[in-house]
Structure 1
Amino acid sequence: MRSTQPQKKMPLGLLGAALLIVGSALLVVSAFLFPPLWIAAAIAGTGLLFCAAYGAYQLKVRYKATPPVPASIASLQPERTESVDVEAAPVAIASSQRINPFMLAERHGSAAPISVQTLLNLPEETPLSVCMAACRKQLLLWHPDQNADLRQLSDEKRTRLCDTIEFWLNVRNVLAETNAETCYIKLPNTHHAIQPNLSSDPAAARWTNIIRRCDDILAGYDRMGQRLTQLGHSYQQLGHRQEYIRQQHAEIRQQHTEIRQQHAEIRQGYAEIRQGYAEIRQQHAEIRQGYAEIRQSQERSGRAIKQLFLAVYKHIIRKHEKHTREEQIKNGRRFSFFEQRRTPEEIQQVGTQLDFQAREAKTRRHSF
């Protein structure tokens, strides 16, 4: 059964290349034209570029939608050479490394659950990241474009190959969606295997492949819907968390505002306290000054009292001395049988002694 895909790819590819070249040329030429023509050329070139991109996208989708089908027949196969014998060893190694899920289903039971580590012949403690790498390796080992021994197959073997590739794709998707440490895979059902397409009509085979591909796409869309639902729930939870965080931020800002107000009040209180301390210091200075003035007044009063006391004492001493002198003089002139009569020299000597006693008394008073 031949494939008609290459005959459809070539005209579309040439048309896309031509549109791309023309659009690029128009965009380059538009830089040297006048403004109205420049606008028209830019619009036309952009449209041609979009057409080329759309054609490339359609080719990519058509290439992915149709599985690889052997295009050559046995009569057109090249003759075996020594290089074929040299390449036989890698092919044998690849075939020995492949894991056939249908053989495992016949051994363990149809549709039986099995751990992904057992499926890939790995230890049970192997992490899922290593299992994902091993699954990708199985996809490469079962891919017809990467393995020459899988290109020339009968319809039944080709159908089984497609089922095997689909099984490993499902295993990869399950591993990508699983977050747990262990993962169990259900083996394929060998009792309800898809019957091979024995029709020789290429259109029927193509539509069968398209329908199967559409089923796979719908299943993928269902999985995407589930993931989107989970993402929606995650976004809702994230929104609730963000709202809670916003409330917390608002409360924190309010608390910061209150703290700033309290700091301002505390600073104002400190300023008032400093002002009170300054007033107290000023009052202390005034009190010290008053004490100093009081001491000075007390000293002046003490000096005045001392001077007054000394003046009174001097006056009393002088009065007493004068009275004593007068008495002595009077007694010196008076005749008495009981008192010895003094001469003027003795009277002067007594006056000198009295003066000395007065000076000594004055010195003693100043010593206090």
Structure 2
Amino acid sequence: MKAVQFSDHGGRDVLEYGEFPDPDIGPDEVLVDVKAASLNHLDIWTRRGLPGLDLEMPHIPGSDMAGVVTEVGDRVTRFEAGDRVALLAGVADGGDEFSRKGDPTLAPDYRVIGEHMRGVHAEFAAVPEANLVPVPEDVPWEVAGSAPLVLQTAWRMLIHRGELRPGEKVLVLGASGGVGHAAVQIADYAGAEVYATASTEEKLEYARECGADHVINYEAESFSKKVYEMTDGRGVDMVVDHIGEETYKDSLRSLTKGGRIVTCGATTGPDPGAGLNYIFWNQLSVIGSTMATPGQADEVLELVWDGTFEPRIRETLPMSEISRAHELIEERQGFGKVVVIPDSEL
């Protein structure tokens, strides 16, 4: 088969799309003929090389995909050849924490397909049965291959970890990215008053289309000062911040007393300084979140399959143009998700 791969960490020049051995499936695994996949920011970090990341090289990246089951292992019971499926990338080996009733994200051995282990940006992927969900016949491959990671991440952040309530004010930073544009839609669905930041007027207009009530161009003005002005000095109840060092202090300043930050990432760095003076004086909470449980993913994906939520696609490319796909994410070009399709499917 052909697959996206790299043998060394580095810039986009380490990426190639070429021959790779066909995957073998284990007794609990399913072989999927990949029809569409998509990128997330973690693909950039994996390619660059996260501290402590120890990958088998060459590595296939990718944590989102959808396709058709072609073969199942001896112990697989939920799927059979011909089924349409999509990936849930979080893996925790063994015990109740790997069941669909537990919370694998809290397991000590929690890993992510594509980040800590071989990914799915390839013509075929061998995936544990527990990491697949069925996809209805009427759902386009681009939607199924780009929705799961960002929608489940944003859903858990806002609904389960952040406990967002109707009527609250929520600020979503980086609303043009995958998690950001998902969070805007979810906050609007939950009945919140939604504030969103982006870097261009075009991106801000897309954020409005996704459900933002108020938008802020963070390149033109301080978002915390603008939030203070827009809320008559009150601040917002929740900030969705997946950016990190560059935004953290302004995120704290944007909160009302008793407010909370929910975070699932730190793309500009992990060590912004605690801001303890803001936290204790204003009685703020900083809440971490990552991915979702299978049950939480099922909740939000039902709302994707019925059209309530829609992953916006900024561009669809053949996998052979993977360097361009990484550039779109890395340089923050466009709004929403970048989809890649095996060249053999085009």
TM-score normalised per structure 2:
0.22
TM-score normalised per structure 1:
0.21
More strand by share: 2
Indicate the structure whose relative CO is greater, using CA pairs within 8 Å and at least 6 residues apart: 2
Q: Which has the larger radius of gyration?
A: 1
